Amino acid sequence: MEIELANRLSVLGHPQRLAVFRLLMRRYPGRVSAGELSAALGIKSSTLSSYLSALMQADLVSQTREGTWLYYQAGMEGIRNTMDALFLDCCRGRADLCWPDRTTAPQETQPMQDTAFNVLFICSGNSARSILAESLLRELGGARFNVFSAGTKPSSELNPFAVEVLQSKGHDVTPLRAKNVQEYTGDGAPEFDFVFTVCDAAANEDCPAWDGQPVSGHWGLPDPVKAEGTEAEKSLAFQRTYGILRNRIAAFAALPFGELDRISLQHAVDEIAETA
């Protein structure tokens, strides 16, 4: 195990290999094509191939094929083995010294307090998908959630199709505005319990590390803003996005938060990501 651990740490010691690994972790449990990895990280295909090969040999990344396409996913078994070796062997299981806040054991077996949770939805522009998600959780979750949304772009505006869909479903659009994620960082920002990315572009970016180690999820959806065709066809793309998000958020809001520990909640959030 010592040789495997040393090899894995060596592989992750390369800045760009580490960047590939971190992006795949942000997208987990989703899979990402080599082309998307190359575009998101600005790495040449040939160079990326060597990085992925090293990560796969270290059991930190897995590869699957669909037709002519290759997809990559964080290799959780190898990652867990690495973390176990670091914590149980190197740190001798000393949670009081080695765990991030030095007070919480790695198992995180205590249920989250069933109070009003702060939830943030992030997409690239905060013009459509994250706005739809914010409105849906505000309606379906009621007072149990304080809901926010933001975008990673410097500035944006609400998409009129998104606003139209929300209005047609009876949502109050008055409080909605496009915001940048920087509004929720620094002093005075809310401490989030849950942070969701709802577009691949936002998940691909290295967003701020959130205080309090919130449960995170990637609920990536195609961008309805990019839909082509007639006005009716474009509107239908937004209706579909709204429908998928409604299913996922209804499942999320129905979780028994007072009975689940953080690990169970994280697993539930990952499973909801597969809900269509």
Query: Looking at the structure, do residues 214 and 134 belong to the same domain, yes or no?
Result: yes
Tell me, yes or no, whether 109 lies in a domain. no
Catalytic annotation on 207? yes
Query: Looking at the structure, do residues 240 and 146 belong to the same domain, yes or no?
Result: yes
Please compute Rg for the chain using Cα positions.
Answer: 20
Q: What is the CATH number of the domain that holds 23?
A: 1.10.10.10
The residue to which tokens 């007070």 are assigned: 103
Tell me, yes or no, whether 107 lies in a domain. no
Query: Looking at the structure, do residues 165 and 223 belong to the same domain, yes or no?
Result: yes
Peptide bond into 29 cis (omega under 30): yes
Q: Which residues contact 102 (CB under 8 A, 6 or more apart)?
A: 95, 96
Number of domains in the chain: 2
Sequence-separated contacts (24+) of 12-15 with Cβ below 8 Å = 12/60, 14/51, 14/54
pLDDT tens digits in sequence order for the chain, 276 residues long: 678 889 999 999 999 999 999 999 999 888 999 999 999 999 999 999 999 999 999 999 999 999 889 999 999 999 999 998 888 888 877 776 776 654 454 445 555 665 789 999 999 999 999 999 999 999 999 999 999 999 998 778 999 999 999 999 999 999 999 999 999 988 888 999 999 999 988 888 766 667 777 899 999 999 999 999 999 999 999 999 999 999 999 999 999 998 888 889 999 999 998 875
Tell me, yes or no, whether 149 lies in a domain. yes
Domain boundary among 98, 126, 148: 98
Catalytic annotation on 199? yes
Q: What is the CATH number of the domain that holds 245?
A: 3.40.50.2300
Tell me, yes or no, whether 105 lies in a domain. no
pTM of the model: 0.79
Domain span at residue 177? 117-272
Tell me, yes or no, whether 106 lies in a domain. no
Query: Looking at the structure, do residues 174 and 53 belong to the same domain, yes or no?
Result: no
Q: Amino acid letter at 205? A: E
Query: Looking at the structure, do residues 156 and 241 belong to the same domain, yes or no?
Result: yes
Domain boundary among 65, 98, 131: 98
Query: Looking at the structure, do residues 124 and 81 belong to the same domain, yes or no?
Result: no
Q: Which residues contact 228 (CB under 8 A, 6 or more apart)?
A: 234
Tell me, yes or no, whether 81 lies in a domain. yes
Catalytic annotation on 123? yes
Domain boundary among 43, 66, 98: 98
